Structure 1
């Protein structure tokens, strides 16, 4: 992590809870990371590893230490081969496929794994945690394929790429490029680690891939909720909608707090006392009138989604649990990612509904049958030039395509449990697939939001040009957003290619560039 871009302070891995915001800061390279050097913490971590060493040397039976893995747990490992077993675990799991997780996503995954192991119940050495944190410090990030996890026994295949990198194998992201780990380690004088018994399992047998992605998905969805409210305000102005649909008194009789927060934000944006008279429809179409009810589902879901993600992030989620203090080995199933699977399946549903909502608003504003006197497809061309210019026609089609694809992705992944690994893993969470689907739905919805923001801005500009609304009648918040968009986009009068502008707007949404509401 380049010190020049650090801006969110220091994050200390020391067995204490971390937040979704901190994982996002680490993922973006905005936080300095370090490992606690408190003697009490070091001693607690090492105690678990020492207990395990003593136990297996006394021929104690420990899953994944003196036995094979998964259904092979009935296979006893000879004492002289125990120390070889961890390298076999990450080696045979080196079968990931598909696209690679981005550097940002991989940082989040790595950070999530460190949080869990630092709780002190994984039976690893303090030295292993040092090596993991050093990867983040030096921004040497494992290259991790996206496909290959069923979410139990945790994210085995994706996380094997972290274990392998610690041992000097496979590839890493370094200086923005994929490079062989050996080459980077040699250049930075990093010594590969030889994993001790249980350490490979401690890294791999957990929910870090799905949880790291969930932390990123949560923050992006949180922002989409807010920007969808602001876009709705702009759409209402451009369509000359009825601002009283968002009245506080109206929403007091249906007291969903998130829904009512959205309505309040829109109501304040619309500056009702100074707003122009609405069109001759007593009630606007649902995509305007019911926008708080649609966006509000996501807004009301965020607190309990946060609770699910926070709990998983700050849990010990591998197997077996090693209680070095009380010298116990506890065999269980904490690697099961059901809570994250449910959270991601739920989140992608709520977010996809925003894509659908904004797509319908775009359709209204583009269509002369519904846009109350604006030009077809919001073209700014005038005179004879208007006949050959098509404005946002293709963008409207594109937004519809992106919304449709987002909606198609909403089938819950968690219901597609598969029996795997000789029916040992006979009920699995599919949490990582759910998280990946959720990220994709968010990405598509950001594309729709970028289109909607651009089109709503164009509609307002055309209203101002025709004097059907006055600049001074707009609220400060809307003026601010309109000015920000104006810095990035000019009125579409003559047809031009909009791909670059759309990509720029998507990037700005992902960077939370547009200043919105105080939640």
Structure 2
């Protein structure tokens, strides 16, 4: 089925001047929603007012930054009237210098949708035709091939967004059905006429925070799911270690009123028998990676509300320069392209997420070490008898998990403190928001790999615990989770290559396949 045919079967996200949520961008990115430009006359009139106002200023020979002047430090250079129409095309042309891996198709859809959201606020001086052209790219699955490196996060995501501007005009390359094709050919095949940009439209497309904000939306969704999944893994680890569920007592957490931390403890109480008296032979206090898990996971859980607020405020902002106030007929020069809020959100998120990796890595170290696992076999090997000598269980998996954790922790250095002065000291303080967002996604990727390793580990540990003590039965929620894991990976008996299992689990994690703590 052609992407354009899917719009009748998908949830429609309407783009107008109303507020969008992170989930709107995530759903467009993963293909479960389509973008719909509002047809409301009042919305379209508001957009047109900005473009019409700029047209009148040009006729009056008004000085407009980036329209009748050069860009950045070249703002003192006046553009001859006969060359004004060529200026936006020069802007995306000379910014075509990105490098690094290309953004994935889902990331690119998120970028396109995020830029569309900002332009629809009506303060960028663009035409309705431009907005419609952006929607056409999404409808037809024509996704600009955007290099991920080259933005300092102010004056916005200029270099990566230049690839969107160029494709709208039929230049450079696109992803189409998984293949890379010239944009001119792709637009022609879809019956789309390339745009000729109006005087401010190149600047409006490029001079904003769409790339970092799009990546932040995707990061938020993954981080929120990891808070739940890390909690479920902790419950399974506690069961496998025959831990003390009373560490998560409601009264205990009532005296430290961090709502997110309390919520994590409440989830653990759903999974563990906190209402039963502890057995006398139990260790009085479990080690920190179990006992303090709500305090670690809770940091991210408590951060999520303000992370959402920062990301969604940026998503729903007009963030280019200058801002066009058509109603009052003013051109306002400012710095809304600065991505400081996203930079701080991403630097903060990656720190909290990396701590999840570290927490789970420590839980795994307890589970595979017979000195600390309360009777489980070394490396959680299931083999007994003579063949036990040649079987090594999860020994190598624990090494890999530690490697992924170390790399995640290494990347927690905040990107936002590495501002560089660029562009003849015009951009002398920049946000580094896009680098922070890319770092955060890498930390999420590594942490998800640790999570996949822990899912194998806790599934193995819970099975072995039940063999040691058949009377110890997990709560219904854990039993259901173990059954779902069993359908994918099963128990490790004889040594086997675990990469296929890990890749299956990563797919489940990234599609958020398990329903957790509704």
**TM-score band w.r.t. shorter chain:** over 0.9
For residue 288 of structure 2, what is the aligned residue in structure 1? 286
1:114-513 alignment, distance < 5 Å: 114-273=116-275, 277=279, 280-470=282-472, 473-513=473-513
Distance, in Å, in 2 between the alignment partners of 1:409 and 1:450 is 20
Deviates more, 1:133-142 or 1:334-343: 133-142
212 and 479 in structure 1: CA distance in 2 versus 1, 3 angstrom threshold: same
Distance, in Å, in 2 between the alignment partners of 1:12 and 1:280 is 56
Distance, in Å, in 1 between the alignment partners of 2:331 and 2:383 is 73
Look up the SS of the partner of 2:416 in the other structure: helix
User: What is the root-mean-square deviation in Å for CA atoms of aligned residues?
Assistant: 1.4
Is contact 1:12-1:35 (8 Å) kept? Answer: yes
Which deviations, in whole Å up to 9, do the C-alpha atoms of 1:310-353 show, x marking residues without a partner? 10000000000011121110000000000000000000000000
Structure 1 residue 291, shift from structure 2 partner? 0.3
TM-score (norm 2): 0.98
279 and 155 in structure 1: CA distance in 2 versus 1, 3 angstrom threshold: farther
279 and 56 in structure 1: CA distance in 2 versus 1, 3 angstrom threshold: farther
TM-score (norm 1): 0.97
Distance, in Å, in 2 between the alignment partners of 1:28 and 1:105 is 9
Structure 1 residue 3, shift from structure 2 partner? 5.0
345 and 393 in structure 1: CA distance in 2 versus 1, 3 angstrom threshold: same
Structure 1 residue 193, shift from structure 2 partner? 0.4
Distance, in Å, in 1 between the alignment partners of 2:409 and 2:173 is 35
Structure 1 residue 468, shift from structure 2 partner? 4.7
Structure 1 residue 273, shift from structure 2 partner? 4.0
Q: Return the match for 1:49 from 48, 51, 55.
A: 51
155 and 58 in structure 1: CA distance in 2 versus 1, 3 angstrom threshold: same
1:19 aligns with 2:21: yes
Which deviations, in whole Å up to 9, do the C-alpha atoms of 1:115-164 show, x marking residues without a partner? 00000000010000000011111111111100000000000001000000
Structure 1 residue 415, shift from structure 2 partner? 0.3
6 and 262 in structure 1: CA distance in 2 versus 1, 3 angstrom threshold: farther
55 and 307 in structure 1: CA distance in 2 versus 1, 3 angstrom threshold: same
Is contact 1:6-1:29 (8 Å) kept? Answer: no
Structure 1 residue 32, shift from structure 2 partner? 2.3
Deviates more, 1:272-281 or 1:167-176: 272-281
Look up the SS of the partner of 2:56 in the other structure: helix
Structure 1 residue 57, shift from structure 2 partner? 2.3
Is contact 1:279-1:372 (8 Å) kept? Answer: no
Distance, in Å, in 1 between the alignment partners of 2:195 and 2:474 is 61
Structure 1 residue runs without a partner (length 5+): none
